[in-house]
Amino acid sequence: MSDQVSSLENEIEQTRKRLGATIDELAYRASPKTMIRREIASVKAYFVDPSGAPRQDNILKVAGGVVGAIALFVVVRKIVR
């Protein structure tokens, strides 16, 4: 009986430690600074490859989209006037 109690106590203590580590990890992931760093890294990874060279295809896609949006804005503004 004593072995079962100590076994349960050990299991409860291990579960508490795992739960504490999980809560710490969730708090870290939910931190605004961590979220911003993750998003910045994601955007940088889209425009720069791991070796540090720019990804021209992705840069050109975004630049084309921006130019297209500006052109659309100018055309619509001229039509409305």
pTM of the model: 0.55
Taking residues 11-20, what's their average pLDDT?
92
pLDDT range class, residue 3, cuts 50, 70, 90: confident
φ and ψ of 54, to 5 deg: -70, 145
How far apart are the C-alpha atoms of 46 and 58, rounded to whole Å? Answer: 7
Q: Which of the pair, 20 or 4, is modelled with greater confidence?
A: 20
**Burial, 16: exposed, middle or buried (Cβ in 10 Å; 0-12, 13-18, 19+)?**
exposed
Q: Which residue ranges make up each domain of the chain?
A: 2-80
pLDDT digits (tens, 9 = 90+) for 24-73: 898 988 899 999 999 999 999 999 998 989 999 999 999 999 999 999 99
